[in-house]
Homo-oligomer: A and B are copies of this chain.
Amino acid sequence: MSLRKVCVVITARPSYARIKTALRAIRDHPELELQLVVGASALLERYGAPVDYIEQDGFEIATRVYMVLEGENLVTSAKSTGLGLVELATVFDNLRPDVVLTVADRYETLATAAAAAYTNIPVAHVQGGEVTGSIDEKVRHAVTKLSDVHLVSTQRAAEYVIRMGEDPACVFVTGGPDIDLAAEILDEPELELDPFDQYGGVGERFPLDDGYAVVIQHPVTTEYKEARTQITETLEALHGLAIPTLWFWPNPDAGSDDTSKGIRVFRENVKPPLIHFFRNMPPESFLRLLHGSRVIVGNSSVAIREGSFLGVPAVNIGDRQAGREHGRNVLHVDYERREIAEAALAQVENGRYPSEHIYGDGHAGGRIAETLASCELRIEKRLCY
């Protein structure tokens, strides 16, 4: 029997964390062959060259594709996606996979889904059926409509995918592979090495033993002109709290340039003594730092997904995650420095929350591989109403 060829396209740092345990399980499954394509910001130095971590983790890369246009605005997001669609069609034509796996809802994932759907290759989609704000919401559900196999994280997501007209027989609640990584970290939570030594970054160094905050804040594409104001509110809030803070650079999205500029100008002017900025690190190191933190602040889904599993207190800012299922660990605030500071303080004082298994139980990767090995793969579908 010939192996099913599963082509996975990784286009960004967070997508790798969201799929890593599934990659491992696919690679190791006796009936599957992994074809790994790495492209977009996952290749770029400016975002820490996640491709290096992928190779260090022992994955062989079939094809690399540069596709991100400079500008980090809305026009270049669209063009990057178009370029990805052009080139991924060539890649799939040469690799000839049996199924293509696309991850979550970043704008460029539409290119992966469309390139496969248009070339009659079944599309499997991880993390469909969730609800958030911004362009991600449109992309996620458009990808669902281009996909044939739905590997969702939660029961509600499964229900939503089916309500959108997908065949229930093609919807599988696997949990999210991002939670698998979090579960692994729970078993071995200690940091091996000093993160400042190991991952560099810019800004002052400080001891982490007395607790620290983690911040990740992305620009919101539908409000991208406010990116700079929004990041400044959070910078002021954290600086004012005077809590040691590990700050992670945003994804390359419309607005990142303004977010980056906001950070750079703040650093030049304020020289905050207790904020250190990291560009990138392997997902496990990040999760260990997250696990050890007193609070995570920002608008990243990590606060809600991995955060609830790890029981890390979270302050979620703005609408970017609005509509997403979340646990008790989350407080919601606006892009307003006083609100942010107060909520962060409250969370630090509250301390760790009990673990909740909203987005998975730590075994998603294996379930995904198993589903891909056994499910029926077809490309013809119709609204199931």
Q: Which residues on B sit within 8 Å (CB–CB) of A43?
A: 71
- Contact-size category for A: 35 or more
Q: Which of B107, B132, B133 contacts A118 (CB 8 A)?
A: B107
Q: Are B66 and A66 in contact (CB under 8 A)?
A: no
Which B residue's beta carbon lies closest to that of A118?
B78
| A328 adjacent to chain B (CB < 8 Å) | no
Chain B residues in 8 Å Cβ range of A107: 118
Q: 10 closest Cβ contacts across the A-B interface?
A: A82-B85, A82-B86, A78-B89, A78-B118, A141-B145, A142-B145, A142-B142, A74-B119, A68-B70, A75-B93
Q: Determine the distance from Cα of A131 to Cα of B165 in the docked complex, in whole angstroms.
A: 11
A261 to B48 CA separation, bound complex (whole angstroms): 12
Which one of B41, B323, B383 contacts A382 once the chains associate, using CB atoms below 8 Å?
Answer: B323
Write out, one digit per residue, whether chain A residues 106-133 have a CB within 8 A of any chain B CB (1) or not (0).
0100110011011110000000000111
Chain A positions near chain B (C-beta within 8 angstroms): 41, 43-46, 63-71, 74-79, 81-90, 92-94, 107, 110-111, 114-115, 117-120, 131-135, 137-139, 141-146, 160, 163-165, 202, 221-222, 224, 252, 257, 261, 264, 268, 319, 322-323, 379-383, 385
Q: Flag if A66 contacts B90 (CB, 8 Å).
A: yes
Q: How far is the CA of A70 from the CA of B69 in the complex (A)?
A: 5
Q: A45-B257, A138-B146 are in contact. Are A70 and B120 (CB under 8 A)?
A: no
Residue from the list B87, B164, B252, B383 in contact with A165, Cβ < 8 A? B164
